[in-house]
Structure 1
Amino acid sequence: MNINQLYYFKELAKQRKFSKAAKNLSISQPSLSNSIKSLEKELGCKLINRSGSQITLTKYGEIFFKAASSSVNIIEKAKNEINQYKRQKDNIIKIVSIPSAISNYLPAVIQKFKNEFSSNTTFIYQNSLSNDIYQELEKGNFDIGICSKLDTNHKLKFIPLYNEDIIVFVRPEHPLASLSEINLEDLNNYNIITYSQDTVLGQKITQALSYNSSSLNLSPTLDNDLSIAAHVLTNNSVGIGVDSAFLNDFNLTKIKLKVSKNTNTVYLAYNPKLDLSANLKQLINLMTKKMAIPESD
């Protein structure tokens, strides 16, 4: 028995499908199947029942699943603590952030931190969607995150930082391009593209728009600003999103949308179970002391 087999069995028991488990593990289905068969042979019992594409756990499988899950969690916790200690020892802070914060917010904050506290701290950025940021922080792969807040996530600590403007962006020749500010009624009869409902920001924007107007032709289907911008240019549709510097590379006109300023509050998030280095505490204090806003109800 090896560590990989524990990971493989835990994922298979969680997904209940060889195809999905193999995909998540980045291995082939035959490799996963052979690993489980080898595990069953070593333990001398049947761990799963196969029924078409689905699997169920036997009583033996349920017992082993608890042990495998516990073992994997202990290993992952140790790996996270080791990686965190390495970062602290090497004076590295890893930040996972929504793209707009990387372009609009973090550069000035990091420069201020280096000027006032530690010029030799190395910062590593990665951009991601809020949903993925939660997972990365829970796993301990990053020190802090900049993201939207999912109210049902109680594993992370969220501190409000600032509100992002929600804007409309269109091609320069579009009829809406001449407006300095857009009300929701101005968007009637246009095809509107925004973030997918699979994203936290997509949920918040759709909720805000739907609450104020039920007649909009809204398609919440895309994951990021670049995809929305490309769709707007190709189809001459109307895009709605945050005012990101990434949009400056496109020939688009940006107009402020008149919605609640709290439609998208950006938060600093971190895992309270992890030990914070002195530098990390200083960074969090800097970000929240001078830039925090009252949290909306």
Structure 2
Amino acid sequence: MNLNQLQYFKILAQEEHYTRAAQMLSITQPSLSHAIAQLEEELGTRLFEKKGRNIVLTRYGKLFLPYVEESLKVLEEGVQRTRELNGSKEGIIHLAYIYTMGSNFTPKMVRNFLDAYPDYHIDFHFTVGTTGDILAGLKEDKYDIVFSSYQEGEPDIEFRKIGNQKLVVAVPKDHPLAIHGSVDLRDTIAYPQIYFEKGSGLRPVIDQMFEEINQFPKVAFEMEEDSSMAGLVAQGFGIAVMPDIPILKSLNLKTLEISHPVYERSVYLATLKKHYLSPVAKSFIQFVCQQTEGR
């Protein structure tokens, strides 16, 4: 059993598809198949079984996976700490972010950081999800840094504000409200709405807006992320209160300012308190905070 076999097993378990896993690992599919077969032979059991066109973990594979993930994580931390003692400017940053920060803020911030520190050799690993999911992952030590909404009741997480996102009402271009440039939230109640699901950090913010006017919309669909919401709005499935993100400009819809109640959604950089962070992760945090100071 060797390190490559364990890494291959982890990626294949995530992808559940040999071709995709091989592409991610930059190896050939036969090489991946051979490595997994050797691992299974050494363990004396099957780790995967076919399910349609994909493969899934057997119960033995499911048992083995968390031990592999933990072992690789410990090894990665050991490599990073050893490099740091040697003064290396190399490392891995596991960065997770909410959907609304994926099209512009996060890629731009990472690119600016790498351009500002050309002597650093950093491998960013990205994950996207809802605030609830990625903060849960942060507490499970899956991520070093998270860009998310604020969440109450998280004493072990430090939240640093890094900006605001304006909320708008998105409507189809042929919608009755589209003749306006702005709208009172009370004027949206008559129309079915596309709403963020409960796991989203925006859900309590938008709930609070409707509580302020003491009225609540008829929810046609609940969605996890904003680009799908925008697509449904553009096709006439409803209207939506959502962040004013770049993708809205490319779709067949119109965005309306909200004249009342006026809200902005704050976004945060979140890390675990009293938790080890590599020097490169600390440098990235400092850079983000400097770039967003005063926002």
TM (norm. structure 2) is 0.66
The SS at the match of 2:280 is helix
For residue 142 of structure 1, report the CA deviation from its aligned partner: 1.6
The 5 Å alignment of 1:53-132 reads: 80-86=73-79, 89=83, 90-118=90-118, 120-132=121-133
For the 8 Å contact 1:160–1:267, the answer to whether it is kept is yes
Offset of 1:246 from its aligned partner? 3.8
SS across alignment from 2:227: helix
Q: Distance in 2 between matches of 1:260 and 1:83?
A: 48
The match for 1:178 is: 179
Whether the 8 Å CA contact 1:100–1:243 is kept in 2: the answer is no
Contact 2:95 2:127 in 1 (8 A): yes
Alpha carbons of structure 1 residues 107 and 166: separation in structure 2 relative to 1, 3 Å = same
Cα separation, 2, equivalents of 1:112 and 1:103:
15
The 1-side partners of 2:267 and 2:78 are apart by 28
Given residue 130 of structure 1, which amino acid in structure 2 is its aligned partner? T
Quick one: distance in 2 between partners of 1:91 and 1:215?
48
In structure 2, relative to structure 1, the CA distance for the partners of 1:179 and 1:244 (3 Å cut) is same
Q: TM-score, length-normalised on structure 1?
A: 0.66
Cα deviation for residue 290 of structure 1 reads: 3.7
Measured in 1, the distance between the counterparts of 2:260 and 2:268 equals 19
**Which position in structure 1 is the counterpart of 2:284?**
283
Displacement after TM superposition at 1:234 (Å): 3.8
Shift of 1:269: 0.6
Map residues 7-46 of structure 1 onto 2, 5 A cutoff. none
Q: Percent identity?
A: 21
Find the counterpart in structure 1 of residue 223 from structure 2. Answer: 222
Q: 1:136 to 1:213 in 2, by over 3 A?
A: same
How many pairs align?
228
8 A Cα contact 2:163 2:266, kept in partner: yes
RMSD: 3.0
**CA displacement 1:206-263 (0-9 Å, x = unmatched):** 1222223425435572211133223323444211111223444532222232356654
Residues 16-56 of structure 1 deviation map (CA, whole Å, 9 limit, x = unaligned): xxxxxxxxxx877xx59xx9xxxxxxxxxxxxxxxxxxxxx
CA distance in 2, matches of 1:85, 1:209: 49
Please list every run of 5 or more consecutive structure 2 residues that lacks an aligned counterpart in the other structure: 1-55, 84-89
* Residue pair 2:100, 2:243 contacting (<8 A) in 1 also: yes
Residue 94 (structure 1) shift: 1.9
Distance in 1, matches of 2:143 and 2:239, equals: 35
Distance 2:127 2:121 in 1: 20
